[in-house]
Amino acid sequence: MLILVANLGSTSFKYRLFRMEAGGGEVVAKGGYERVEDYGTVIDDALASLQRDGVISSPDEIDAVGFKTVLGKNLSGCVIADQSAIDALEGFAAVAPAHNPPYANGIRQFARSLPKARLVALFETAFYQWTSAASHSYAIPKAWRDIGIRRYGFHGASHKFIAERSAELCGREDVAETARRLYQDGPRQTGAKPFRVVSCHLGGSSSVTGILNGVAIGSSMGFSPQSGLPQNNRVGDLDSGAIPYAIRTLGIPFDEAERQLTKESGLLGISGISNDIRDVRAAAAAGHADAKLAIECLIHSIRHWLGAFMIELSGIDALVFTAGIGENGADIRAAVCDGLEGFGIQLDPVRNEACRAVEADIATGTSPARVLVIPANEELVLAREVFRKLSS
């Protein structure tokens, strides 16, 4: 099955074309465009270049297109990307303004350009469909809940891959199979012994997810991707009382407050240096106090959520690091694990230092919990889910 995975940003379009079969799949082509003004033009250009390069002889050969959609109003899961998916994206366009409008446009455009292909949307919220009401409800009036304000959780594709892969690496094939088939079969009874994972997706955007037997129990992210850990330039958790106070005291309009919280906060906001942790780390090493504070805030927040999920899970079998910072940041991993030996998390400092962006177990041989680094590959997750959906 030829599956094109479309990654649509507010001004970018990237794609990977996968050839998928039951045993796995491979990337057969990839490409992308920046500063996109008209999705229709670049999508048609991408299809023409695939033909020109001999990857396909006709666009009709592409069986399906997968979209990593973020947040839908009253819609989640791995679904056929039809008008109801477009309506759901547009219904929450104001909550995810950088993501939802491009995906709604992209789905419309692909429906025109590839009328024979099946279009599938995998919502980032899908992995959290089975969280308890207590974990996903905010203490707000009913009218607020009725318009869809609740915790959704994001990075679902990445954390679901961690649920599958960590179970495989820990010899829990029963859990791995439940996680793989989650969007087709829902949660299933697994072996008697629970398998408890805390997954840390640490990148430009970061979140921590608790996973029990292959199914998410909660996320550090809430209603929008604004919440949870400090992000590269987005705020993360903030007391709701701070926004009206800042607006009144600083005399700034609401839109400006929103812009500052979405563009000038997070690691950039605290450090005043950069939204890239490598620059912040270099400044901290040179003695910059706010850069040091930015890194400490990130570590503090990761440990806060790690602790919360370890209590909810009554322990931990695997702590996993993924995405740019999680895969490369040995210093951040060491700081997160510092002093947690008594909770069963025993990091091997040599293995940790040696591990850069490769799959590895970096715990000591005798550590009760495994500490794993698992590289993220969200496009592959999309291709796999689209393949499972259309084959089931």
Which residue has its beta carbon closest to ligand AMP?
A: 324
Which of these segments, 209-217, 250-258, 272-280, 345-353, binds ligand AMP (CB under 6 A)?
272-280
Which residue in 215, 222, 217 sits closest to 236, CA to CA?
222
**What are the CA-CA distances from residue 194 to residues 150, 173, 314, 344 (Å)?**
27, 13, 10, 16
**What are the CA-CA distances from residue 369 to residues 49, 211, 241, 336 (Å)?**
48, 14, 39, 14
- CB 140 to ligand AMP: min, Å: 31
Residue 376 or 383 with smaller CB distance to ligand AMP: 376
Residue 203 or 222 with smaller CB distance to ligand AMP: 203
Q: Is 381 in the site for ligand AMP (CB under 6 A)?
A: no
- CB 277 to ligand AMP: min, Å: 4
Integer Cα distance of 38 and 16 in angstroms: 19
Residue 203 or 210 with smaller CB distance to ligand AMP: 203
In the window 303-362, what residues touch ligand AMP (CB under 6 A)? 323-325, 328-329
The two three-digit tokens of residue 95, written as one number: 């909550």
- 278 contacts: CB under 8 Å, gap ≥ 6: none
Integer Cα distance of 236 and 215 in angstroms: 24
- CB 206 to ligand AMP: min, Å: 8
Q: Distance between terminal CA atoms of the chain?
A: 13
User: Residues 172-211 vs ligand AMP: string with x where CB under 6 A?
Assistant: -------------------------------xx-------
Which of these segments, 51-59, 137-145, 250-258, 271-279, binds ligand AMP (CB under 6 A)?
271-279
**What are the CA-CA distances from residue 266 to residues 221, 229, 250, 283 (Å)?**
14, 8, 19, 16
Binding site for ligand AMP (CB under 6 A): 203-204, 232, 276-278, 323-325, 328-329
